[in-house]
Chains A and B, each alone.
Chain A
């Protein structure tokens, strides 16, 4: 079947620290992978995506590489800011347009 597992939170970092949020997946076939971000009081927003193996998605300083050999799509940012404080969701989409979300990882960045 299809599923996404992401690291438990909450994660607390100091401003300018390096961020990694781990995400691994189980899927049949060749899924597309996504990271979404949710700010307080808002809906989920697409942060980045990758549609095939070895693709790197990037946006706003965040990056994630689609690793088929390790079934992973870890989110990274070299220097986090207070404004990055949010909940981050890893997700996959497979044929038939079904989406599968991880449980979310809460990130708090302190000045």
Chain B
């Protein structure tokens, strides 16, 4: 089990540039979550997918953020255009989600994004 794999680990970009973060969930998991973590706001859920379908995107800050899951083994989170206030650590997590809610989340090591 390779765990949840995120890339890149670090991203530094200039304001206005497009940023794409990538995630490979654990094989066999059918739910995927994107979180953002900052000192000020803590851990925030941005969006989650179930069986590749977005279920709840109410946490996506604004139209500059978009997420896709074209298949069960890959997801992207895109920010266009990026702004300094988007600087944070972005985590992807996956789980084998049934309706009972007793399957834990498995987190990747995150992408640290710095927008200058």
Which residues of chain A have a CB within 8 Å of any CB of chain B? 31-32, 34, 36, 41-46, 49, 51, 89, 91, 93-99, 101, 103-104
Contacts and interface: CB of A to CB of B under 8 A. Distances in A.
Contacts of A42: 109-110
B91 A95 contact: no
Contacts of A31: 101
A91 to B, nearest CB: 8
A16 B90 CA distance: 34
B101 A93 contact: yes
Contact of B42 (A43, A94, A98, A103): A103
B95 interface: yes
Given A41-B109, A44-B105, 15 more contacts: A31-B101, A34-B104, A34-B105, A43-B110, A44-B43, A46-B104, A91-B105, A97-B50, A97-B95, A97-B99, A98-B48, A99-B45, A101-B43, A104-B42, A104-B43
A89 B109 contact: no
A45 B31 CA distance: 17
A51 B103 CA distance: 9
Contact size range, B: 20 to 34
B78 to A, nearest CB: 20
B101 A43 contact: no
A48 B17 CA distance: 40
Contact of A89 (B33, B43, B56, B99): B43
Contacts of B105: 34, 36, 44, 46, 91, 93, 99
Contacts, number: 62
B91 A44 contact: yes
A96 B43 contact: no
Interface in B45-104: 45, 48, 50, 56, 91, 93, 95, 97-104
Nearest to A97: B97
B102 A51 contact: yes
Nearest to B92: A43
Nearest to B50: A97
